[in-house]
Amino acid sequence: MIKINNLKKLYGERTVLDIPLLEIKSGECVVLTGHNGSGKSTLLKILAGTVKENEGKAISEGKIYYLPQQSIPFNKSVKANILFCLDGKRKIKRELCDDVLNAFELKQFENKSAKTLSGGECQRLALARVLCRKGDIILLDEPSSAADNKGRALINELIKQYCEKTGCTLIMTTHTGEFPKISNLRIIELCDGKIKKDSMTGEINDA
Amino acid sequence: MLISADREILQIIGVTLRMSFFSTTVSCLAGMPLGILITSIDFKGKRTIRKIINTLMGLPPVVAGLIVYMLFTKYGIFGSLGLLFTVEVMVIAQCLLIIPVVISLTSSVCSVNGKNLLETSKGLSFGKLKTMRLFLSQNKTALMSVMLTAFGRSIAEVGAVSIVGGNIQWKTRVMTTAIMLETNKGNFEFALALGMVLLLISFAVNIIASLFAKEEGQ
């Protein structure tokens, strides 16, 4: 569960985030939308702990994993990138790694250097690295922004499958208007750091 | 004397390589993690520490030699260790000179992609050790250059090692102090020949390092 109380973030004198109250229940899937500079990424960064808020609090329960917009591919092979993120015994890690590579359609690149992947493939790898860690709360900042239509559909499908399988809490940002087809998806629209709309899928067109 | 591989020359080369190897290794082992920490962690007084490190980068070797000499002289704090005029104390003096250079260069190298890499690492909840490993592996080639710079500074250094080492024949005489001695004696040709050997050693180390870097690139 995530609870936000009077959260404020300022860059200089500019208020980039101002959320008086927001609650996200365990297992809930939330999409943050809004134009550039609306505060979507800042909110995720505060929840992930990479940026500090100026006022208020964001309390969360559970292990958080966060995929930043500028996630860097490690200077290793695709397979080694996944292995580096897995914990446990070597044999188990290898088996898990194969499953992840197959699920994310990265098997054919497993021995290729991650630096040579295309933008979309790189994002898939970055997503695979985060999801293979198996967290309670997953924060994804524009996870499919560099992918083409097919790649975006695949990434959204993978996110959907993961959420349905694990029951994790998901918060992701997007400005493309495409989200995973998860039932009861909550859509929060931010504008100038404030919540403009908070609705469930189905209600969005009416709001 | 050089062509016939004089025993004394070989011994001087041996001492030079031993001193440079240890001072480079110790400086990199201490300086690289500190450089990464300075880049990756925000703390109070970070700017002041950066300024101190940058100032120490310009520390004159003779001053470093003098400080270490005073610490290790008979009546100094570490006088009881009896390390003065040994290769060990020469390594210590060189570390004092090289560590700030390694910290500063590592910090510069890691700050290029540092913010994004740190965010990626934090997002995956990696611990400090794993984050350190990540920074090292992401910047292997650039850090190799840092290591070469450290080695270059070590092998070419003369002021500090002559003060704390004493340029003792068969014991603490290294290439640079031998060149200085031969120049003072008027043996310019021999001093020049020693200088050539020093350059050749540096060249060989650079070739080996570039081979490693090439392997990394592949």
The answer to whether residue B162 scores a pLDDT higher than 80 is yes
The answer to whether residue B207 scores a pLDDT higher than 60 is yes
Task: Fill in the amino acid letter for B127.
Answer: G
Instruction: Tell me the CA distances in angstroms from B84 to B3, B22, B72, B95, B161, one per residue in order.
Output: 33, 17, 6, 15, 11
- Residue B133 sits in a domain of what CATH number? 1.10.3720.10
The interface pTM score, or ipTM, of the predicted complex is: 0.87
Pick the residue from chain B with its C-alpha nearest to A77.
B218
The answer to whether residue B211 scores a pLDDT higher than 90 is no
The answer to whether residue B115 scores a pLDDT higher than 60 is yes
Residue range(s) defining the domain that contains residue B62: 2-217
Pick the residue from chain A with its C-alpha nearest to B122.
A50
Check: CB of residue A1 under 8 Å from CB of residue A48. Answer: no
The contact set of B with A (CB < 8 A) is 113, 116-120, 122-125, 134, 137-138, 140
Rounded to a whole number of angstroms, the distance from the CA of B150 to the nearest CA of chain A is 24
The SS3 of residue A196 is strand
Pick the residue from chain B with its C-alpha nearest to A126.
B120
Number of domains in chain B: 1
Q: What is the mean pLDDT of chain B?
A: 91
**pTM of the predicted model as reported, rounded to 2 decimal places:** 0.79
Q: Is the four-CA dihedral B198, B202, B203, B207 of positive or negative sign? A: positive
The SS3 of residue A66 is strand
CB contact under 8 A, A85 and B124: yes
Instruction: Give A206's pLDDT tier (boundaries 50, 70, 90).
Output: very low
CB contact under 8 A, B138 and A74: yes
DSSP single-letter state for residue A177: S
Instruction: Write the pLDDT tens digit of every residue in A77-118.
Output: 999 999 999 988 888 999 999 999 999 999 999 999 999 999
A187: enclosing H helix or E strand: strand A186-191
pLDDT of residue A148: 87
Q: What is the mean pLDDT of chain A?
A: 90
Instruction: Give B165's pLDDT tier (boundaries 50, 70, 90).
Output: very high
